[in-house]
């Protein structure tokens, strides 16, 4: 496997400090500092793969409630059962939903406000990708649907839930978290991948806007590369299959670590689930001082 260019960010913490699977520092079941009792978490795309793993790792973190969102009810049923096996005290809300539908997302926000009265963590994980073909061979509906899911879906959940997130931060005099799942692909221009990579690049900038507009109100927003995970979505493209070497559990644990304490030094920035968290912490001052892990044009 060839070494990616530096601007991909893959080796930011050093190639010797990369992980492919969950490890003790991000494993809530064995690391007390990752426990997050009382918190309410919402995860989109929670029915399988990365979203499922994120939800299960939050169950290990003993949160108060998890709102599971996905299009397939049977998948949500399985995840809910798995959560209850881990921790039967967690309140689980299952919502079959199309993240691109404005009214459905607004109704969900009203329901969460009514049922829980708070939201501490929003994970915009739902994703899609059109087939990787050149522009003239692409199907316009499939190409645009990638933007609808990856970008519009994240926007709609932010639009609907930011008020509740801010209210939660104000009432608790604390920090709440938004994790927008992007991709290392946001830094790449691969022939055929225009819909996926452009939409994930837009997610990075969207996170920066949330930080600029709501960071001072207690909302800590981070863009996340989940790693190269062999999900149903990722394995559709044959050319990237050799790079899908990371487990979904790695991302799940990393997200739990992100929200275990106020990591406002990462606000508006891009991070990768493959990066060792202790090494990342050691780089904190340099990241802030030099304003690293954001999108800039080199001139």
Q: How far apart are CA 83 and CA 81, in angstroms?
A: 5
Q: How far apart are CA 159 and CA 117, in angstroms?
A: 17
Half-sphere exposure of 83 (CA within 13 A, CB side): 33
The structure's pTM equals: 0.95
Q: How far apart are CA 126 and CA 148, in angstroms?
A: 11
- Please provide the average confidence, as pLDDT, over all residues in the chain: 95
**Amino acid 3: pLDDT:** 82
- Please give the full DSSP string across 39-75, using - where no structure is assigned: -EEEEESTTSHHHHHHHHHHHHTT-SEEEEEES-HHH
- What contacts 24+ positions apart, CB below 8 Å, involve 83-88? 83/55, 83/56, 83/59, 86/56, 86/59, 86/60, 87/59, 87/60, 87/62
Q: Give residue-wise pLDDT tens across range 113-157.
A: 999 999 999 999 999 999 999 999 999 999 999 999 999 999 999
**Amino acid 232: pLDDT:** 66
Report all structural domains of the chain as residue ranges with CATH numbers, in order of start: 38-289 (3.40.50.720)
CA 12 to centroid of chain Cα atoms: 19
Given a contact cutoff of 8 angstroms between Cβ atoms, the answer to whether 154 and 169 are in contact is no
**Amino acid 4: pLDDT:** 84
Residue 294 has pLDDT above 80, yes or no: yes
**Amino acid 245: pLDDT:** 80
Given a contact cutoff of 8 angstroms between Cβ atoms, the answer to whether 71 and 47 are in contact is yes
Question: E-strand spans in the chain?
Answer: 40-44, 65-70, 91-96, 121-124, 176-181, 219-225, 270-272
Give the residue numbers annotated as catalytic, written as ranges.
Answer: 196, 200
Which candidate, 186, 234, 233, places its Cα nearest to that of 206?
A: 186
Q: Count the Cβ atoms, other than its own, within 10 Å of residue 44.
A: 29
Residue 1 has pLDDT above 60, yes or no: no
Q: Give residue-wise pLDDT tens across range 93-124.
A: 999 999 999 999 999 999 999 999 999 999 99
Average pLDDT of span 55-77: 97
Q: Count the Cβ atoms, other than its own, within 10 Å of residue 172.
A: 14
Q: Give residue-wise pLDDT tens across range 222-244.
A: 999 999 988 766 666 767 767 67
Residue 176 has pLDDT above 60, yes or no: yes
């Amino acid at each position: 496997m060839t070494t990616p260019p530096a601007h991909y960010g893959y080796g930011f913490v050093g190639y010797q400090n990369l992980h492919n699977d969950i490890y003790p520092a991000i494993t809530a079941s064995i690391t007390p500092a990752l426990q997050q009792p009382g918190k309410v978490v919402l995860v989109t795309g929670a029915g399988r793969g990365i979203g499922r793993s994120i939800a299960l790792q939050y169950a290990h973190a003993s949160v108060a409630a998890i709102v599971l969102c996905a299009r397939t009810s049977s998948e949500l049923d399985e995840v809910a059962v798995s959560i209850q096996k881990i921790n039967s005290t967690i309140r689980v809300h299952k919502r079959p939903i199309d993240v691109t539908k404005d009214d459905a997302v607004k109704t969900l926000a009203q329901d969460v406000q009514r049922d829980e009265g708070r939201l501490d963590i929003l994970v915009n994980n739902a994703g899609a990708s059109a087939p990787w073909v050149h522009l003239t061979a692409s199907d316009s509906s499939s190409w645009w649907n990638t933007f609808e899911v990856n970008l519009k879906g994240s926007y709609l959940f932010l639009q609907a839930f930011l008020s509740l997130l801010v209210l939660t931060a104000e009432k608790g005099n604390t920090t709440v978290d938004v994790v927008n799942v992007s991709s290392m692909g946001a830094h790449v221009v691969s022939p055929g991948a225009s819909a996926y990579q452009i939409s994930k690049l837009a997610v990075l900038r969207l996170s920066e806007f949330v930080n600029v507009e709501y960071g001072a109100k207690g909302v800590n927003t981070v863009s996340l590369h989940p790693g190269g995970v062999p999900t149903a979505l990722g394995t559709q493209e044959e050319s990237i299959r050799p790079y899908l070497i990371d487990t979904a559990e790695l991302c799940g644990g990393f997200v739990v670590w992100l929200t275990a304490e106020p990591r406002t030094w990462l606000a508006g920035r891009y991070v990768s689930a493959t990066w060792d968290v202790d090494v990342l912490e050691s780089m904190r001052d340099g990241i802030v001082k030099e304003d690293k892990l954001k999108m800039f044009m080199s001139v």
